[in-house]
Amino acid sequence: MIAVKRSVPSFPRSLDASFLCQVVRIYCRVSDRAVAAIASSVLHDVGLITSNNSDLVVDENKLRRKKAKLRKDLKFQALSEAQALPLKGLYFDGRKDSTLIEERVDTKGYTRKAKEEHLCLIEELGSRYITHLSPSFGTAKQISATTIGYF
C-alpha cells in the first residue's frame, strides 16, 4: 500500500466561500441550509476549519445576507449602467400576476395572493434588460408615471 501525503491546498485570502456557495446554490437548486452544511463540511475536510479557527464556517444566515448583498450590488450596478448610457429605444412588457403579499394584522403576519401589475423595461438595439417595475394600478397613466419616476 502506498501512503499518499495530503497537503492543504493554498486558497487565496480573497476567496469568499459564501459567494461560491450562492453560485452553487443557484445552479444546483439546493436550499441554503444544505449548501451551508456541504460548504462547512468541505472546508473542514480540507483543513481550513479547525477547532482553533472557525472563522470560515458557513451558516445559512451568512448565505442569506450574502444573497441580499449580491442582489443590492447587482441592482446598483445595473442602475449605474442604465443611467450612464443614452437610451436609443425603450420598450416595456407587462402582465398581471398572482403575487404573494404579506400583511400584518396586529402582531401576526398573513400571506395572501393578490393580482399585481408587473412591467419589464428593455432597451432595444441590443435587448438590454433595464429593470422591473410594479405600478400600483394597470392604467396607462399609472404605468407612465411609474416609468418616468424610475428615470
The pLDDT, as a whole number, for residue 128 is 76
pLDDT in tens, 105-136: 888 888 888 888 888 877 777 777 777 788 87
DSSP 12-71: -TT--HHHHHHHHHHHHT--HHHHHHHHHHHHHHHTSS-SS--TT---HHHHHHHHHHHH
Look at the block and give the residue holding cell 412588457.
93
Statement: residue 85 has pLDDT above 80: no
Measured from the Cβ of residue 40, the count of other Cβ atoms closer than 10 Å reads: 19
Statement: residue 84 has pLDDT above 50: yes
pLDDT in tens, 44-57: 888 887 888 777 88
Measured from the Cβ of residue 103, the count of other Cβ atoms closer than 10 Å reads: 10
Name the pTM for this structure: 0.45
The pLDDT, as a whole number, for residue 8 is 42
- The domain locations on the chain are 17-84, 89-150
